[in-house]
Amino acid sequence: MQEREVVLTKREVEARLVPSGTEIMIPSDTFVTITQSLGGTFTVAVNGNLARIEGHNADALGKKPLESSFETPEDGTVNENQVWEAMRNCYDPEIPVNVVDLGLIYDCKIENGTEDGNHVYVLMTLTAAGCGMGPVITEDVKTKLEHVPNVDKVTVELTFDPPWSNDMLTDEAKLELGML
């Protein structure tokens, strides 16, 4: 993660307020402070609020979108390491730790050669059941997995059983968050 950076928006840009998930438009020529730029998305402070800007709108901040660079397996199957790497590029906009290290991914199954092609199924949770950013985070997981070579279908299911706790964090995540 890099230091905070103040930028002037280059054009009007869609964002979502954190943590409610409410859609807003940030006008062109607005000063915003980038507080987090991980996994190709941006969390910005604007008018006293935090908002998330998706990576495909990076140009509005004068940035370039994150490019995925997975090699395509020649056998037509989905590479499990690439699936986990893609999920490690998904972040909660308030926490500088990816969803895998946060312990939000409960299950991940890859079924190659099904009737629907190669299918990736993910069972995940959120740090809080009422998180307004839940649909945004789950959609981020789905979108990033759809860009893994040879993936034809992605299903992301949300559960709160068992509820998430900070015991699910990896040691690396605890270190990053100052809990070790």
- Express each pLDDT in 80-125 by its tens digit: 999 999 999 999 888 899 999 999 999 999 999 989 899 999 999 9
In the block, residue with structure tokens 């090699």: 71
Rg (Cα) of the chain, in Å, rounded? 17
Topology of domain 5-61 in CATH is SH3 type barrels. (2.30.30)
Per-residue pLDDT tens over the stretch 69-88 = 899 999 999 999 999 999 99
How many residues are given for the chain? 180
Residue 63 has pLDDT above 50, yes or no: yes
**Sheet-wide strand order for 117-124:** 105-114, 117-124, 153-158
Tell me 98's DSSP state: B
What residue ranges of the chain are covered by domains with CATH 2.30.30.40?
Answer: 5-61
pLDDT (0 to 100) of residue 1: 46
Which residues have CB under 8 Å from 69's CB, separation 6+? none
pLDDT (0 to 100) of residue 116: 85
Burial class (CB in 10 A: 0-12, 13-18, 19+), 176: middle
Per-residue pLDDT, averaged over 40-60, amounts to: 95
Q: Which CATH number fits domain 80-176: 3.30.300.130, 1.20.1050.140, 3.30.70.20, 2.60.40.1180?
A: 3.30.300.130
What residue ranges of the chain are covered by domains with CATH 3.30.300.130?
Answer: 80-176
